[in-house]
């Protein structure tokens, strides 16, 4: 087997014809950026974890760190059979109390509690935890995930899993070395329309899928200044451009296209506007706040647009805008040779022979019913009741626990976590380099050719614990 350094040096040679997965693709690469990516990559330490099956865990014992977003996970876990929250970790005592109360209300055991800066280490060191659920600010995702895997724990980590290519590789290497799951919690893959369109795509309703679009367009101007622990999100906007939050839009589209399973993202090109909105909002709303004096320093462009080319000749467009007045959108557009679907601003489907217009409301409703994904059919009703972004959060957590209990591979592999998150650094590199095309590392190290896109599970046929 080729080691990673050798593989990349072969496939990313500047201006060369690269052999990727047995196919020849000529590409012209930027020089310094690619060289740096090659040099940063350590050698392979363990076998691939694509499709990893671990011993079934009858009762999945979970430690949750970060109880902002993580509080929703505690709520979900408390309502899932076969899951037990063993420990909670956060510096904010109110948040810890809230989660303790949630567990109590559901009649669950009292969890151990950790409230100091580095207490997450103690939590990871416990021998009665199977899964560390990491919902901390971005800079803590990788340190906690690595430490948890070093202590034999599976990891579920919030989005984006990592902020740099080096850290993306660190997650892949550690999961391979320890043969553990490291799943990124990309909840948008589990929303009802996304699941239905995945099913429709797999059943051939859209023909061959050729293009996808996704986004994270969410006006966070106020939250950036007034929410988040120590302004971590604002600080990132101060210091970085590109797309720091690509996975909500990319994840569901990547699953439809079979990214890392039969296809792979090959290169991208990214463009950002300058920053206008955050500065203006701060000036208009934070008149006496010292932070507006620094507001000119925000580097994050308001709108970032990235286009990705895949090895099989498909394309993906991903946008990010968290600083403009605009309704929420993740776009979620799937284009095939026979039809298309789009989710925002309204769910719409167009299919041949009448694809010049969208389906009638009745026809679309029937189609969505017919192709409802088995997962949302099975657990969707409970998910809607529990809530959490309309139910998709519950579906994701339920499915994660379900796979661990049955020893099944998880839907999202560490390679998905790494490649989807790699856009954080790669888009910034491209933006800073006048949108020059940047190669996307093959985190699977060639394994993507051997694997089929994730199947549509059949909830009647799978094993139940």
Ligand X SMILES: NC(=O)c1ccc[n+]([C@@H]2O[C@H](COP(=O)([O-])OP(=O)(O)OC[C@H]3O[C@@H](n4cnc5c(N)ncnc54)[C@H](O)[C@@H]3O)[C@@H](O)[C@H]2O)c1
Q: Which residues contribute to the site for ligand X (CB under 6 A)? A: 65-69, 89-92, 95, 117, 120, 135-138, 140, 158-159, 185, 187, 228-229
Residue, CB closest to ligand X? 68
**Min dist. Cβ of residue 415 to ligand X (A):** 19
**Min dist. Cβ of residue 228 to ligand X (A):** 4
**Nearer residue to ligand X within complex by CB, 371 or 394:** 394
The helix (H) or strand (E) run that includes residue 363 is: helix 361-370
**Nearer residue to ligand X within complex by CB, 229 or 276:** 229
**Min dist. Cβ of residue 88 to ligand X (A):** 9
> 138, 102 in Cβ contact below 8 A?
no
**Min dist. Cβ of residue 283 to ligand X (A):** 24
Number of Cβ atoms within 10 Å of the Cβ of 33? 18
> 136, 117 in Cβ contact below 8 A?
no
Q: Phi/psi of residue 317, each to 5°? A: -115, 130
Q: How far is CA 369 from CA 318, 338, 381, in A?
A: 28, 20, 14
**Nearer residue to ligand X within complex by CB, 156 or 175:** 156
**Min dist. Cβ of residue 253 to ligand X (A):** 16
Edge-to-edge strand order for the sheet containing 265-272?
348-351, 339-342, 333-336, 209-217, 315-321, 304-310, 265-272, 438-439
**Token digits of residue 69:** 């977003």
**Min dist. Cβ of residue 344 to ligand X (A):** 16
**Nearer residue to ligand X within complex by CB, 13 or 91:** 91
Cα–Cα–Cα angle for 373, 460, 133, rounded to 5 degrees? 65
**Nearer residue to ligand X within complex by CB, 34 or 191:** 191
Torsion of the alpha carbons at 234, 235, 237 and 239, rounded to the nearest 10: 170
Short-list 195, 197, 191, CA closest to 342: 197
CA distance 441 to 427: 13
Q: How far is CA 50 from CA 150, 191, 260, 455, in A?
A: 19, 24, 9, 14
Number of Cβ atoms within 10 Å of the Cβ of 286? 15
**Min dist. Cβ of residue 140 to ligand X (A):** 6
Residue 214 zone, left/alpha/beta (φ > 0; ψ -120 to 50; rest): beta
**Nearer residue to ligand X within complex by CB, 145 or 403:** 145
**Min dist. Cβ of residue 442 to ligand X (A):** 25
CA distance 215 to 250: 7
**Nearer residue to ligand X within complex by CB, 90 or 255:** 90
Per the document, the length of the chain is 465
**Min dist. Cβ of residue 223 to ligand X (A):** 8
**Nearer residue to ligand X within complex by CB, 263 or 411:** 411
Number of C-alpha atoms within 13 angstroms, CB side, residue 169? 20
Q: Phi/psi of residue 89, each to 5°? A: -140, 120
**Nearer residue to ligand X within complex by CB, 141 or 261:** 141
Residue 259 DSSP class? B
For 256, the 3-state DSSP assignment is helix
Instruction: Name the H helices within 227-301.
Output: 232-239, 247-257, 277-285
**Nearer residue to ligand X within complex by CB, 92 or 239:** 92
**Nearer residue to ligand X within complex by CB, 183 or 209:** 183
**Min dist. Cβ of residue 69 to ligand X (A):** 3
**Min dist. Cβ of residue 247 to ligand X (A):** 8
């Amino acid at each position: 087997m080729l080691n990673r350094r050798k593989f990349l040096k072969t496939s990313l040679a500047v201006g060369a014809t690269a052999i990727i997965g047995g196919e020849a693709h000529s590409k012209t690469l930027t020089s310094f950026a690619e060289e740096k990516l090659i040099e940063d990559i350590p050698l392979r330490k363990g076998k691939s974890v694509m499709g990893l099956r671990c011993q079934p865990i009858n009762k999945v014992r979970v430690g949750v760190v970060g109880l902002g977003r993580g509080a929703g996970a505690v709520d979900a876990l408390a309502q899932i059979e076969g899951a037990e929250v063993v420990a909670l970790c956060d510096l904010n005592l109110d948040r810890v109390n809230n989660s303790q109360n949630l567990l109590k209300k559901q009649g669950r055991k009292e969890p151990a509690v950790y409230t100091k800066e580095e207490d997450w280490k103690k939590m990871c060191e416990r021998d009665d935890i199977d899964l560390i659920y990491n919902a901390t600010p971005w800079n803590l995702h990788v340190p906690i995930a690595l430490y948890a895997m070093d202590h034999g724990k599976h990891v579920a980590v919030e989005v984006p899993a990592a902020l740099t290519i080096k850290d993306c590789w660190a997650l892949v290497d550690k999961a391979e070395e320890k043969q553990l799951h490291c799943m990124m919690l990309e909840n948008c893959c589990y929303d009802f329309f996304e699941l239905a369109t995945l099913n429709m795509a797999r059943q051939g309703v859209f023909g061959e899928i050729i293009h996808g679009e996704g986004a994270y367009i969410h006006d966070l101007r106020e939250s950036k200044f007034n929410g988040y622990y120590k302004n971590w999100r604002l600080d990132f906007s101060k210091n970085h451009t590109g797309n720091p939050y690509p996975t909500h839009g990319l994840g569901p589209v990547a699953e439809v296209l079979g990214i890392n399973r039969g296809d792979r993202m090959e290169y991208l090109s990214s463009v950002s506007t300058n920053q206008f909105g955050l500065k203006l909002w701060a000036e208009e709303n934070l008149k006496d706040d010292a932070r507006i004096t620094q507001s000119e320093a925000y580097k994050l462009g308001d709108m970032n647009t990235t286009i990705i080319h895949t090895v099989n000749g498909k394309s993906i467009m991903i946008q990010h805008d968290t600083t403009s007045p605009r309704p929420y959108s993740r776009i979620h557009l799937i284009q095939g040779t026979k039809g298309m679907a789009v989710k925002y601003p309204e769910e719409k489907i167009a299919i041949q022979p009448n694809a010049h217009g969208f389906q009638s409301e009745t026809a679309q409703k029937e189609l969505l019913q017919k192709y409802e994904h088995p997962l949302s059919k099975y657990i969707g009703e409970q998910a809607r009741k529990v809530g959490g972004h309309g139910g998709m959060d519950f579906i994701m957590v339920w499915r994660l626990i379900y796979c661990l209990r049955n020893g099944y591979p998880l839907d999202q592999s560490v390679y998905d976590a790494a490649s989807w998150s790699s856009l954080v650094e790669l888009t910034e590199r491209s933006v800073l380099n006048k949108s020059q095309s940047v190669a996307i590392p093959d985190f699977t190290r060639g394994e993507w050719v051997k694997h089929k896109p994730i199947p549509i599970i059949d909830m009647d046929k799978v094993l139940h614990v």
